[in-house]
Amino acid sequence: MANNHCIGLIEAIGLASAIQAADTALKTGNVKLLGYEYSGYDARIVVKVEGDVGAVRAAVRAAEAATRLVKGSLSGCQSSSMKYALDDRVYNSLVHNKLTIGDELQIQSGKRPQGTGKTGKRAGVWDGRGVYIYE
């Protein structure tokens, strides 16, 4: 169940750093890769892993260090966090959503990943107050 597991979120800068973070996290601890999600701006990608608290802590720390070794202008780790003892609603909103690439909901939606850029890639419209409303 979701309540017994810990979720690790690693926000990497650039696709190469995200791949390095996922690879290092999986090789460091006994964790499962849940998928990744584009943050929607400035090449930020959130890698999501799951496991017990000690394994996730080790995996996240190793992934942070590994992203700093990637060479290039889009490299490094912006932030990381761990969430544990989650309520099922919170777990589903963080992990099982249409934006988590590799998750069943995203695969069933048939939508391809949009990539990153300077603006958000989710579909929506501008309303009269100048606010972007996501659909």
The pLDDT value recorded for residue 83 is 82
Host H or E run for residue 11: strand 6-13
What the block records as the tokens of 41 is: 């701006």
Host H or E run for residue 83: strand 77-84
pLDDT tens readout for residues 59-102? 999 999 999 888 877 778 878 888 877 778 888 778 877 777 77
Q: Is the pLDDT of residue 52 over 80?
A: yes
Q: Is the CATH number of domain 2-134 3.40.1790.10?
A: no
The pLDDT value recorded for residue 120 is 45
- Predicted TM-score of the model (pTM): 0.73
Distances (CA, A) of 22 to 19, 31, 94, 123: 5, 10, 17, 27
What is the rounded average pLDDT of the residues 101-119?
A: 61
